[in-house]
Structure 1
Amino acid sequence: MRILVTGREGQVAQSLAEQAGGHELVFAARPDLDLAIPATIEAVVARVHPDLIVSAAAYTAVDKAESEPDLAMAINGEAPGVLARAGAKIGAPILYLSTDYVFDGSLDRPWREDDPVGPISAYGATKLAGEQAVQASGAPHAILRLAWVYSPFGNNFVKTMLRLAETRDALNVVEDQRGCPSSALDIATAILKIADAWARDGASSGVYHFAGTGETDWAGFARAIFAESARHGGPTAQVTGIPSSDYPTPARRPANSRLDCTRFAETFGYRAPAWQDSLAVVVERLLD
């Protein structure tokens, strides 16, 4: 398949570039494709004429979205619909990467695809609007909700922890938010599983969750990062768990970001490795 991927520098886009397999990947980003300018989206889709569109680029500054809701909505909420409609004109399905932030975090179990949405941040609201725009486009689509993404690329929690540990012996990290750390390398594999299935059987629409197997909190995640770092002689720090109230941010975060990934595994025959195993791969690469 010829796959159009929005963005070049994002964690998922760079992970996909490593794992293209037999597919032809075409990456499009500014200035050629500007998600805030619909005409550029339509022009790129018409020129590339892909078999599949992966909507990977997004406005991801969660806290900044609270003060830039219009820009975040244009990029996250409106552009995916433009992409999907442009794809529908040429028969190309779309895979939209969404987020656990569409949920309010109130459940005491992992979130399933049919659980009620209720974002508690501007970022979450814009990503939910993107889901709805894709669903309303008429294009065959998959909405893939992700959580706690990290990788050897871009900015993420793993890289931040390792950087901070270079100059600090101790760190305070939130321990009352739980989730499933997810390697973008595994996410890229999941996306290509969808592409393979659609190339073989034709595209069918649905909402799916994909995240690392197992769960932890941010403080536990940090401790695991430093344990892996220590194995390779890298920086470490002592981690003290704190409540979210001690680390206020402009945007509220869900207390429960755990995702139930059963539907994805049953549909596409792939489940992410244990998050600790995927973390070990990324930390080794970062310290190599």
Structure 2
Amino acid sequence: MSLLDEQSAVTVLGLGPMGRALAGAFLDAGLRTTVWNRTPGRDRELVERGAIGARSAREAVAASDLTVVCVVNYDAADAVLRRDAVTDALKGRTVVNLTADTPDRARDTAVWAAEHGVRYLDGAIMTPTTTIGTPAAVFILSGPEELHREHRPVLDALGGTLTHLGEEIGRAAAYDIALLDIFWTAMAGYAHALAVARAEGITARELAPFAQGIGAIMPPLFGELAEGVDSGDFSGEGNPITSSASSMAHIIHTSEAHGIDAGVMRAAEGLARRVIGLGHGTDGFIRVAEVLGRR
């Protein structure tokens, strides 16, 4: 029996750590799963667990009505999907692209898919590989609602929460970018804090429990501040942006006294001073979001 004699429930293209986790979750759910990776050999463990190793990308996508793509970026995805043989095999089938990239790239891929008769959903994975197949996994999708409904039973095998954010195809990537903005800005702040603390004789382990306390303040603030931003209420009652700018200046002074680059904090202070200069000194720091968005 050849690979194409019996259809798989799903094909996974890309077998890096996340792609292997996705394929593994499908297998654990008992789904017939076809896998392919540009670098040979990555499928060995999955094949031993029951996956079907395709000999080519074309063979892989032809094996299933649903193909899930998870590669490093859209350049890599395009290099696989936009080859004539693969594109022809995808006609009438569905691609769910869980590759991280920009909203514009998602929209461009959707145009390509429509032009070639490929049904397309774009998405993002918001949690680490260790969560895939568990209740802690978080996925977001955007694109045609009927495609989401049709393939939801298979995608549910990935575990956790899968949220369809709407039909505008770039919406999932936009959420991904915004949420990663929070994560990497916070990580940059933590790395800087560790450098300053070490310069003052405080170890990372000593600082960590207090850092966790600061982090715990943030989640409720996100909800409270979001309501104000959407309603145009940037009130700084209790903590005006003038106070924020003052504390930022202290951080900059201490950092630079130790020869530590304070460029990120200088940028943040500059935004705060800009808000103050526009006459919003009694507002809270979140007024920066409105100023940044001005055209």
Q: TM-score, normalised by structure 1?
A: 0.39
Higher relative contact order (CA 8 A, sep 6+): 1
Q: TM-score, normalised by structure 2?
A: 0.39
- Of Structure 1 and Structure 2, which has the larger fraction of its residues in strand? 1
- Of Structure 1 and Structure 2, which has the larger fraction of its residues in helix? 2
